[in-house]
Amino acid sequence: MFKGSNVALVTPFKDNKLDEETYIKLIHFHIENGTNGLVPAGTTGESPTLSHEEHEKVIELCVKESNGKLPVFAGTGSNSTEEAISLTSHAEKIGANGALIVTPYYNKPTQEGLYQHYKAINDKCGIPIIIYNIPGRSVIDMSVETMAKLYELKNIIGVKDATGDLNRVNQTLEKIGKDFIQLTGNDDNALEFNKRGGVGAISVTANIAPKLCSEFQKNSLFDDNNSKKESERLNSILQPLHHAMFVESNPSPVKYAAKLLGLCEDDVRLPLVKVTDKTKDIVKKALKSSKLI
């Protein structure tokens, strides 16, 4: 249901307000260029600085404009359980295919606290939920054991793993099984992640290279020699892009890249700022190396 190249959509701004017209164009850009799924209002979509109204609007527009052509897994996480329930309920009501819910940041819950947080959301909502485990931003790390316990609930179907620890793929596969969806949140490890049992990525780079990312994912999920060679070739092309997108805090670099490609402006909301001239040079070089400009 949700595999391959899924884009963690940026949220375009104009005069510090949601630029709806450009956002709609971005959605159709992905529909037309091979992206397998849409993830609005995640970290890359600057969800921490979206108002509650904007957050809901971004998801609504994505569901409406995709019109069933691509699955939409809406970012509905929060460090407040009640807020996460509210956002997830809204996503369900307007027709999202599922929710991507980040582990609560700043609060630092225990493993039992994590379990109860997701269980509370699960019990109040009726759409599939993908856990987003990203210790680098949330500080806490959900264990494989906690995920296995959560998988027993009706709505928990998988994980976006941004730990950077490839051994987690093997451990999760062994503990929970192949039906538990494993998606990487780290573009740069996607090839090895899929080799170990992953089925795709929720990708930052896909914002600017949807065709490359979807072709890479498609080939990486097949086991024949031609597909393996092609996935390795595409991976080598994508690696400079993956690196450039994280030279500074996401999504500032990918928004600058998107600006160079004429997709949207590079405006971000404080406390994020636009990238430095040094980073601009890195991003330009990466776009040229992949023949995007």
Could you report the per-residue pLDDT of 78-99, keeping only the tens digit for each? 999 999 999 999 999 999 999 9
**236 pLDDT higher than 80:** yes
Helix (H, G, I), strand (E, B) or coil at 117: helix
Which residue among the candidates 160, 255, 259, 280 is catalytic per the annotation? 160
**114 pLDDT higher than 80:** yes
- 131-151 average pLDDT score: 97
**175 pLDDT higher than 90:** yes
| Whole-model pTM over 0.95 | yes
Q: Predicted confidence band at 275 (pLDDT cuts at 50, 70, 90)?
A: very high
DSSP codes, 157-222:
EEEEE-S--THHHHHHHHHH-TTSEEEES-GGGHHHHHHTT--EEEESGGGT-HHHHHHHHHHHT-
**Chain centre distance of CA 77:** 12
At 156 the pLDDT is: 98
Which residue among the candidates 23, 115, 118, 132 is catalytic per the annotation? 132
**2 pLDDT higher than 90:** no
Percent of the chain beyond pLDDT 90?
99
- 41-54 average pLDDT score: 97
- 186-206 average pLDDT score: 98
Check if 23 is active-site: no
| Rounded Cα–Cα distance for residues 240 and 234 (Å) | 11
Check if 218 is active-site: no
Domain ranges (residues) in the chain: 4-231
Query: CATH: 3.30.565.10, 3.20.20.70, 3.40.50.620, 3.30.1330.40. Which one for 4-231?
Result: 3.20.20.70
